[in-house]
Amino acid sequence: MEKIKIALVDDNFHTRQSINELLSYSKGLEVCYLGESGKSFLAHLKESNEGTLPDVVLMDIDMPELDGIDTVAIAKTVYPSIRFLMLTVYDDEDLLFRAIKAGASGFLLKDEKINVIEQHILNLYKGLDAPMSPSIAQKALSLILRSTSDVGQKEDIGAPVPLEVSSREIEVLQLLVDGYNYKDIGDKLFISYNTVKKHVANIYEKLHVTSKAQAIKVSHYFNLLK
């Protein structure tokens, strides 16, 4: 069985080595790249061919030069097939919203157990779910509820936008906040696993925003890397 190729980008040496060592025990995963910055990761992608690109990237948010969110925004524009899982010590709403806009596929706190991270990687690779720690799901729920109530307010760059989120989608997200997995949510709401997955995908899509700024960033950073 072909292993899932993992890249890990974090400016903390001990964090990189610790997660790398723990993931090395997984039979289904192979850490193929360790990077200390977003800039070095983008340079690595430029030198890679299609067969050596990572399938899933564990990306730190807070890094010097080029943070994880801007790195994801650039990489997703050029390499849309790569899935990015943000590993962070933060559950800040603004960071969450920016990461979603950039194209991140999931958000887990760094203190999650390694078997939880591993399972989310496998699920993400198979397209089964959008990983989210319960405390981060709480922030997403708060963001959505506030966004739906702020329709009449003037929007700023990077501020939450008005969303048309259904009551069922909010109900699904609330159960994620409570720590339920997709199967349990389906059982509790009497809907299928795939329906739960679709509701979460809709939430992500409604939070996702694209802009010309991303294209400008891509051009800017890749010129720097030549």
In CATH, the number for domain 4-224 is 3.40.50.2300
Give the domain ranges of the chain: 4-224
Q: pLDDT at position 14, please?
A: 93
Read off the pLDDT band of 53 (50, 70, 90).
Answer: very high
Separation CA 141–CA 158 (nearest Å): 17
Q: pLDDT at position 175, please?
A: 86
pLDDT tens string 14-33: 999 999 999 999 989 999 99
Residues ≥6 apart with Cβ < 8 Å to 6 = 23, 29, 30, 31, 32, 33, 54, 55, 56, 57, 58, 121
Read off the pLDDT band of 204 (50, 70, 90).
Answer: low
pTM of the model: 0.71
Structure tokens at 78: 């050029």
Q: What is the spatial order of strands in the sheet that 29-35 belongs to?
A: 29-35, 4-9, 56-59, 83-88, 106-109
Q: What's the average model confidence in pLDDT over 177-201? A: 86
pLDDT tens string 63-85: 888 899 999 999 988 899 999 99
Separation CA 37–CA 225 (nearest Å): 13
Q: What angle do CA 74, 3, 20 make, to 5 degrees?
A: 70
Read off the pLDDT band of 189 (50, 70, 90).
Answer: very high
Name the residue with higher pLDDT: 226 or 38: 38
Separation CA 12–CA 204 (nearest Å): 29
Separation CA 54–CA 220 (nearest Å): 23
The DSSP secondary structure of 30-92, one letter per residue, reads EEEEEESSHHHHHHHHHH--GGGS-SEEEE-S--SSS-HHHHHHHHHHH-TT-EEEEEES---
Burial of 83 (0-12, 13-18, 19+ CB in 10 A): buried
Q: pLDDT at position 156, please?
A: 44
* Lowest mean pLDDT, pick from 23-27, 88-92, 222-226: 222-226
* Bridge partners, 109 (sequence order): 88
